[in-house]
A and B are shown apart, each in its own frame.
Chain A
């Protein structure tokens, strides 16, 4: 559990609370501002799509929310934990117990079996129990019960992404952060993944933040947050369509 000093004490705790987040890369003349004072809240159980052109800063923002990157300035509170003030161990614990990540590139470890990849988060949990059973249950949820002993190299792209989702769901997180989860999938497989996320959000109440270029993804989200040049912008359907078109996805 989070220490008292790291937990924001208020009656209403948003799942994510960002205030004036700034982030830049490079130094001197090569310094590029990626985020310029981003602020918003995400309520528990929301399904949020983060959209914008390439380089708009949405993946950086997602990494900051997940504690995989640090802002130069601003306040980040995730599930009631002030991740700026929390120790590294506290942030690691938060990622392990409460946050699931799904990446565009799947990020499966080839030397481990499918089940080994799914239960990998248990390696860092001190109180893990029924690990294999929970791993198999996570695989069953994504429809890969029969693939437990296979290696990632033997799977298709869609199957790999479902393994990555099973891994993200292994510890039953309350917040799922997805970075272009359908970016490497064909449209049919991508649709299955999106349907799965929608069901996860609707039935289990998992808070979802998805970075995407695809309109079909953003169209199922309950809320769309658009970004341009490191800032939040008002979005219209036309702009959304333009963003998707630039990426080459369906409008």
Chain B
């Protein structure tokens, strides 16, 4: 066999000298690979967004609703159920966050805050739940701040203080600010140390850390799609943290919550002794409830016990279970029904994932058909080339090229065309993706989970594109190369 260096030099020289042949052969590959990578990258990105909305590796266990004579007799999700689930082989017992109970705030609560100069009042009861803080570890900030601050012993900031006076015209007053440069006399200011984080709790006249809450990205989408438009407020950036930081940081996203109060007219607004606490938004997390807010479960347990009794403090609204393998969902679901009379919450995510899988298969099939056609086109062009270059190939044989050398020269030319076509195809694909993203950013309206880019070009997609283009080109060039190598040099040299 001829030296690789010489082979490479000859292949490059032969490929570049015939532009017509190169363009005819590479055109199909460029289109095919561009289609291939764009389809794969788009389905990859859609899949990633889908997994954000519906984490496919986890399921949510709920109790079917049942009532008798107006009384709720639904099965209670409590710690005994949690332990039974933990004992299942489908669950990874070593993972402390494999089973995460959620507890809903089961009594009315009424929130009040301000944002961009707007006085906001909103219902919290029914729109808040609690979760194990260890489960919410999305970033450094949530790991540091999303915890049960009231269980922290020896908090030096928990000092005595005077809560704000009652306002006879407002059931819940807005969260008071820290004093500015020249405090106005007679105005109540937050007297606690680190006023951006601590407030004076009226229950024990002591400074407490604000209750940390996280919200889901769905809330941002709702804000952008509905609230911001109707109130003339700025659209939140995709990077919500960046958006908030521009407006005074997350600690500015604080609000008061009137426990036991409601904004719903005609409701019983004083179900026990209503009281006011303060909360602060500490982050955005997919683990938060989609519509509402989520806080450390200990707060919810204490409040449910305070307002509704022990029973409400031990009943979970759902239990998130992460299975070892998503293929075990069916087995686990059957066990839940048979043994515990419980069920899995309907998983839209699973249905979407299946649909996406099928769509991806179809798109890959389409792009493979295009590449296969271009491979046949390459074969056709190379057959023509080999015929046109018979004399040249015969001469190479006369000068010392073996059959293998001729085979490798022609295959090398096919591979190089495939490689260059692949690179151009990747460029075209990236360009198309960029154009689609630009169009999406400028012309498509905002909607929940609208991605900044519709494509995720993972390294294996790009590499796969190149391997595919080169492989299919070599495949197309094989028969012509074989014919070239089998030609009798004497006959080839007599070609006119």
Residues of A whose CB lies within 8 Å of any CB of B are: 60, 63, 66, 68-70, 88-89, 91-93, 95-97, 101, 103, 107, 109, 111, 120-126, 167
Please, which residues of chain A bring their CB within 8 A of the CB of B17?
Answer: 111
Q: Interface readout for B461-496 with A: 1 if CB under 8 Å, 0 if not?
A: 000000000000000000000000000111101000
Q: A107, B395: Cβ atoms under 8 Å?
A: yes
Known: A120-B399, A167-B399. A69 touches B488 (CB 8 A): yes
Q: B493, A92: Cβ atoms under 8 Å?
A: no
Instruction: Name which residue of chain A comes closest to B10, CB basis.
Output: A123
Q: B400, A96: Cβ atoms under 8 Å?
A: yes
Q: Interface readout for B399-434 with A: 1 if CB under 8 Å, 0 if not?
A: 111111100000000000000000000000000000
**B contacts with A: majority SS:** helix
For the complex of A and B, list the 3 residue pairs with the smallest distance between their C-beta atoms, beginning with the closest: A96-B400, A92-B402, A69-B490
CA distance A126 to B7 in the complex (A): 11
Please, which residues of chain B bring their CB within 8 A of the CB of A126?
Answer: 2-3
Please, which residues of chain B bring their CB within 8 A of the CB of A66?
Answer: 398
Known: A68-B488, A103-B493. A124 touches B2 (CB 8 A): yes
CA distance A117 to B111 in the complex (A): 88
Q: B490, A92: Cβ atoms under 8 Å?
A: no
Instruction: Name which residue of chain A comes closest to B489, CB basis.
Output: A68
Please, which residues of chain B bring their CB within 8 A of the CB of A97?
Answer: 400
CA distance A79 to B260 in the complex (A): 108
Please, which residues of chain B bring their CB within 8 A of the CB of A167?
Answer: 399
Distance in Å: Cβ of A134 to nearest Cβ of chain B: 14
Q: B391, A92: Cβ atoms under 8 Å?
A: no
Please, which residues of chain A bring their CB within 8 A of the CB of B491?
Answer: 69
Distance in Å: Cβ of A149 to nearest Cβ of chain B: 16
Known: A124-B6, A126-B3. A101 touches B405 (CB 8 A): no
Q: Which of A70, A93, A107, A109 contacts B400 (CB 8 A)?
A: A93
Instruction: Name which residue of chain B comes closest to A87, CB basis.
Output: B402
Distance in Å: Cβ of A144 to nearest Cβ of chain B: 19
Distance in Å: Cβ of B352 to nearest Cβ of chain A: 57
Q: Which of A60, A93, A101, A123 contacts B398 (CB 8 A)?
A: A101
CA distance A182 to B236 in the complex (A): 86
Q: B490, A63: Cβ atoms under 8 Å?
A: yes
Q: For chain B, residues 380 to 404, give those with C-beta under 8 angstroms from any C-beta of chain A.
A: 391-392, 394-404
CA distance A96 to B396 in the complex (A): 10
**A contacts with B: majority SS:** helix
12 further A-B pairs in the complex, CB-CB below 8 A; given A63-B489, A88-B404, A89-B1: A68-B397, A68-B398, A68-B488, A88-B403, A89-B404, A92-B402, A93-B402, A96-B400, A107-B395, A123-B401, A124-B6, A126-B3
CA distance A103 to B13 in the complex (A): 24
Please, which residues of chain A bring their CB within 8 A of the CB of B397?
Answer: 68, 92, 95
CA distance A167 to B400 in the complex (A): 12
Instruction: Name which residue of chain A comes closest to B494, CB basis.
Output: A59
Q: A95, B490: Cβ atoms under 8 Å?
A: no
Instruction: Name which residue of chain B comes closest to A96, CB basis.
Output: B400
CA distance A91 to B395 in the complex (A): 14
Known: A68-B493, A88-B403. A109 touches B392 (CB 8 A): yes
CA distance A92 to B489 in the complex (A): 11
Instruction: Name which residue of chain A comes closest to B496, CB basis.
Output: A105
Most chain-A CB neighbours within 10 Å: which of B9, B17, B401, B404?
Answer: B401
Q: B404, A124: Cβ atoms under 8 Å?
A: no
Distance in Å: Cβ of A184 to nearest Cβ of chain B: 14
Q: A124, B400: Cβ atoms under 8 Å?
A: yes
Distance in Å: Cβ of A60 to nearest Cβ of chain B: 7
Q: B489, A69: Cβ atoms under 8 Å?
A: yes
Distance in Å: Cβ of B410 to nearest Cβ of chain A: 15
- What would 29 A/B residue contacts be, using CB atoms closer than 8 Å? A60-B490, A63-B490, A68-B488, A69-B490, A69-B491, A88-B403, A91-B402, A92-B405, A93-B402, A95-B397, A95-B400, A96-B399, A97-B400, A101-B398, A101-B399, A103-B493, A107-B395, A109-B392, A111-B17, A121-B400, A123-B9, A123-B10, A123-B401, A124-B2, A124-B396, A124-B402, A126-B2, A126-B3, A167-B399
Please, which residues of chain A bring their CB within 8 A of the CB of B395?
Answer: 107, 109
Known: A89-B404, A92-B405, A109-B392. A124 touches B489 (CB 8 A): no
Please, which residues of chain A bring their CB within 8 A of the CB of B6?
Answer: 122-124
Please, which residues of chain A bring their CB within 8 A of the CB of B405?
Answer: 92, 124
Please, which residues of chain B bring their CB within 8 A of the CB of A91?
Answer: 402
Q: B399, A124: Cβ atoms under 8 Å?
A: yes
Please, which residues of chain B bring their CB within 8 A of the CB of A107?
Answer: 391, 395, 398, 493
Please, which residues of chain A bring their CB within 8 A of the CB of B2?
Answer: 123-124, 126
CA distance A55 to B488 in the complex (A): 19
CA distance A227 to B178 in the complex (A): 117
